[in-house]
Chain A
């Protein structure tokens, strides 16, 4: 299974909007795109999942273009507590392959 590609790290300041883009060129028709957040020494936490166009929940938005070969996680007005590693994956019932993730550092 091919891994996704995302920036290794990003820096931001409190109150800013953060957009993390992920490439998944080999995504299959039945695959969903899922984003997880992981703090040190904790298991990943589900953030958002989508199939196409735009999905929004109480913590984030997910934008997926028509070709579905990429997706963008949008975090509105980040705070210090959003400092974490963010993983983009495409999910099926069989298994997930984690890439390197994006290490987001939020500064005051």
Chain B
């Protein structure tokens, strides 16, 4: 139980284009999901908290107009990187808060490369 999937697992795009990443909780409902970014050899950095049916809460320094988050259902949250640039290349990981409201379960991550 408590499986979280992400799609796509990797994506390559041209600079200036937008990329959408999906995060799904497969066997449980998640009112809260989180989006992280991880650069090579570094730890995960929280980008935003996504609550179903409401606006996401962004961490300081994260541009909400660049990283659009939509949490339209209890099993799906999406992250759209708008007008991507090479510096946006990173490993993006989502997580979903489990039914105990204490444990986060992580997706496998999405590798984004912007050329």
Chain A residues within CB distance 8 Å of chain B: 32, 34, 36, 41-46, 49, 87, 91-101
Contact = CB atoms under 8 A, between A and B. Distances in A.
Contact of A101 (B43, B46, B111): B43
Interface stretch (B13-21, B61-69, B81-89, B102-110): B102-110
Given A41-B109, A94-B49, A32 B102 contact: yes
B101 interface: yes
A87 B104 CA distance: 13
Contacts, number: 59
Contacts of B93: 43-44
B103 A49 contact: yes
Majority SS at the chain A contact face: loop
6 contacts: A43-B106, A46-B2, A46-B105, A96-B46, A96-B95, A98-B44
B43 A87 contact: yes
Contact of B102 (A93, A98, A100, A101): A93
Contacts of A91: 102-104
The 6 A-B residue pairs with the shortest CB-CB distance, nearest first, are A43-B106, A98-B44, A98-B43, A44-B106, A43-B109, A43-B93
Contact of B43 (A45, A49, A94, A99): A99
A90 B77 CA distance: 24
